[in-house]
Homo-oligomer: A and B are copies of this chain.
Amino acid sequence: MGDRLTIERDGDIATISLDNPDKMNALTLSMWRELGKAMEALSADDEIRCVILRGAGTRAFAAGADISEFAAQRSNREQARSYADVTTAAMQAIEQCRHPVIAMIHGVCVGGGLEIASLCDIRICGESSRFGAPVGQLGLTMSYAELGALIRLAGRPVAMEIVLEGRIFNAHDAYAKGLVSRVVADDAVEEESIATARRIARSAPLVARWHKHAAARLTQSPALTAAEIESAFDCFDTEDFRIGAEAFNAKQKPVFKGK
C-alpha cells in the first residue's frame, strides 16, 4: 500500500513524485491513474509555469510498471485494453500538458519510467542512471504511442537497440544517444533540475506554451488505423506472454516459443 503520488508546489513550479519505495517506484495502475489526473489538473492551472516529474528518493525515477499486478490486471487482451486506457491517458496528459515538464531522473529509469521520461520536455539525470525497457523479455509490446515517443526522443535505431536487444544504457551512452538532455553528478540532479525549472519559470509562459504546442504539431506521428492500434494488444493472447510473465515471477530466464 506504499504506492502513491505526492504533489508539491513551490510558487509556480509543481513537483510530482512517483512513490512506491519497496519497488523502485514501479507504477501501479492506481499510480498511473493518479498521474493522469494530476497532470491534467496542473496543465489547466494558469499559475503553473513548470512541472517536475521525479521518483521519490534517489534510487530510481521509476522501474517501470508494477509487474506483480499483471496477473490480476493485465493477463489477457481484454484486461490489457482496460489497463492501457489508464496508462495511455496518463501519458497523453504528460505529453499534452501546456506547461514545460522536466524529468528529474535519479537512478533507474526503465520500462514505463523511460516512457514517462520520453514524454517530458527536458530530461536531467545523474551519472549512475540507467535506461532501458526489457519488454522483449516480458513477451509484451509497447503501444504505437509509447514506441513513437521513444523514436521521437532518440531516433529509430536507438529505439531498436532498446526494444529488440533489451539494451540497458548508462548515463554516458544515454546522453550520446539523445535519451537525456543532460548528465550531472548524482548529488546534483535535484539542484540542476530545480534550477532548470526556475529558468523556465522566469521565461514568458505563453511563449513556452506556444513553442511546446508547435513542436508537438511539427513532430506528430502518422495517423494510424484502429486495427493498427489494436495490434499492439496481440501479444497478450500469445503463449510467449504467459511464458514471459511466469519467468519474471519465478525469477528465471524465459524460453520463448514464437507463438
Q: Which residue numbers of A lie inside 8 Å of B, CB to CB?
A: 46, 49, 100, 121-123, 135-142, 144, 147-148, 151-153, 155-161, 163-167, 175-178, 181, 196, 199-200, 202-208, 210-212, 214-215, 217-222, 224, 228, 231-232, 234-235, 238, 240-241, 243-244, 253-254, 256, 258-259
Q: What residues of B have a CB within 8 angstroms of the CB of A178 in the complex?
A: 155, 157, 177
A139 near B204: Cβ-Cβ < 8 Å: yes
12 contacts between A and B (CB under 8 A): A46-B258, A49-B258, A122-B161, A142-B214, A147-B215, A153-B156, A156-B218, A163-B207, A165-B196, A204-B258, A214-B232, A218-B221
Given A100-B164, A139-B204, A164-B211, 14 additional A-B pairs, CB 8 A: A49-B258, A122-B160, A136-B203, A141-B207, A151-B215, A152-B156, A204-B244, A205-B240, A206-B235, A206-B238, A206-B258, A206-B259, A210-B232, A217-B224
B240 near A207: Cβ-Cβ < 8 Å: yes
A176 contact from B121, B176, B243, Cβ within 8 A: B176
A256 near B203: Cβ-Cβ < 8 Å: yes
Report the separation of the CA atoms of residues A49 and B165 in the bound assembly, to the nearest whole angstrom.
12
Report the separation of the CA atoms of residues A186 and B256 in the bound assembly, to the nearest whole angstrom.
33
Q: What residues of B have a CB within 8 angstroms of the CB of A153 in the complex?
A: 155-157
Residue from the set A137, A202, A222, A234 with the largest chain B CB neighbour count within 10 Å: A202
Shortest CB–CB separation between residue A42 and chain B, in angstroms? 15
Q: What residues of B have a CB within 8 angstroms of the CB of A176 in the complex?
A: 175-176
